[in-house]
Structure 1
Amino acid sequence: MSGTVLLVIDMMNTYQHPDAEKLAPNVEKIIDPLAGLIAGARERDDVELIYVNDNYGDFTAEFSDIVRSALEGDRKDLVEPIAPPEKCRLMTKVRHSAFYASPLAYLLGQLSPDRLILTGQVTEQCILYTALDAYVRHFPVVVPPDAVAHIDAELSDAALTMMKENMSAEIIPAAECLG
């Protein structure tokens, strides 16, 4: 049993897509808080670190291939500080929610966490949909707004409000997530 699960969602990104120009500056702002959360998770026995990343339609890709592509992409500076450490759990997904077409629900059923901390990108897309899927599975959700990146600020604010009001998510700074 893990007290807390820290999910790092879709951070292995090449930044070679239509929204990259809008997204990358917002990702820059979350790298330090996210790197701090990852480091804190690695130091604790009661926190499970799980990276979930889109496979971008490549169903032959191993997680290491996705990381390698991201590190060779346009913004490796946004990948290197938060690249998956050894001995953490890695899984791919195929759409917006970290639960969709991934073994995440099964794994969380085995771990029985007290709460999930959702980090990564994109707040108004993958983070929101993952929060909803976690909520319907009765997992308490925490979202640190300084550790999630958005494309559209207005939609991000709306998504955070929806997660708080409709899904009972706790919205707190990254520095407060691990107590």
Structure 2
Amino acid sequence: MNPKDTDLHGNVPDTSPVALLIIDMINDLEFPGGDELAEPARVAAEHIAVLKRRAKALGIPVIYVNDNFGRWRSDFKEAVDHVRNDGVRGEFLASILSPESDDYVVLKPKHSSFYVTTLDTLLVYLQTKHLILTGMTTDSCILFTANDAYMRDFNISIPSDCVAAIKPTYTNDALAYMKRLLGADVTPSSQLDLATLCQDVSLV
């Protein structure tokens, strides 16, 4: 795709070879298994928050890709308000990973961040080549997103400490699969050299 308007009508000021995706972390956890997911999600959220600060310091754009949970009249602000204020199980997630005004937002209706969303178009205008996938769940939405990213020839990092699933074995098995078949880098976030990653990708 060769965009005619390279700044997406002025709404995408960033250009970056690397983008950080935060997937489904604004989440009420009010579903079967949500109680088991709460602690792994909390640990992942704390690591993602640190990674997000590091990314933004280097000018790496942050994209929240979030399920609309079947609320077809909702928007992201409504989803954040629901998780923050309705006494739900996942309230802590919105406090740890509160979106900021310069973060991008993509709402998705299904598992993959790419399926029937604007993510493809956004990444074209950002000129992104490498995606850092974080969030939950590792064996569902992260896995489906990674598969679609691979099919689109993105390089992929999935920091092992920035994803969560109901059971540790689900995360471990999914990470092993994505590392083996998709070539994903599963280096923990504390060992991820973002500056070097940006430089390396820009040369591709």
User: RMSD across aligned C-alpha pairs, in angstroms?
Assistant: 1.2
Equivalent in the alignment of 1:86: 101
CA distance in 2, matches of 1:75, 1:132: 27
Deviation at 1:31, TM superposition (A): 2.2
Q: Deviations over 1:130-171 (max 9, x none)?
A: 000000000000000100011122222111011101001111
Find the aligned partners of 2:127 and 2:182 in 1 and give their Cα distance: 19
Letter of the aligned partner of 2:82 in structure 1? Answer: S
Structure 1 equivalent of residue 76 of structure 2: 63
Q: Which residue of 1 aligns with 2:120?
A: 105
Partner of 1:175: 190
State the TM-score, normalizing by the size of structure 1. Answer: 0.95
Alignment of 1:22-171 (within 5 A): 22-45=36-59, 47-72=60-85, 73-171=88-186
Q: How many residues align?
A: 178
Q: Show structure 2 runs of 5+ residues with no match.
A: 1-14, 196-204
Q: Partners of 1:82 and 1:2 in 2: how far apart?
A: 22
Counterpart residue number, 2:29:
15
CA shift for structure 1 position 42: 2.0
Q: For 2:62 and 2:103, how far apart are their aligned partners in 1? A: 6
Alignment deviations for residues 17-73 of structure 1 (CA, whole Å, 9 cap, x no partner)? 11201111111221221110111122222x111000000011110110011111122
The CA distance in 1 between the partners of 2:191 and 2:130, in whole Å, is: 14
- Matched residues in 2 for 1:123 and 1:26: separation? 11
Using the TM superposition, give the Cα deviation of residue 3 of structure 1 relative to its aligned residue in structure 2, in angstroms: 2.1
- TM-score for the superposition, normalised by structure 2: 0.83
Which moved further from structure 2: 88-97 or 101-110? 101-110
Please identify, of 145-154 and 69-78, the stretch whose mean Cα deviation from structure 2 is larger. 69-78
Does the aligned pair in 1 maintain the 2:21–2:131 contact within 8 Å? yes
Question: Which structure's residues are more often strand, by fraction?
Answer: 1
Q: Which residue of 2 aligns with 1:3?
A: 17
Decide whether the 8 Å contact of 2:47 with 2:189 is kept in 1: yes
Cα distance in 1 for partners of 2:61, 2:49 equals: 15
Q: Secondary structure at the match of 1:102?
A: coil
> What SS does structure 2 have at the residue aligned with 1:5?
strand
Amino acid corresponding to residue 83 of structure 1 in structure 2: S
Cα shift at 1:75: 3.0
Amino acid paired to 2:125 = Q
Query: Aligned equivalents of 1:164 and 1:104: distance in 2?
Result: 23
1:96-125 deviation line (CA, Å, top 9, x unaligned): 111112100111122221310000000000
Q: Which residue identity does 2:62 align to in structure 1?
A: L
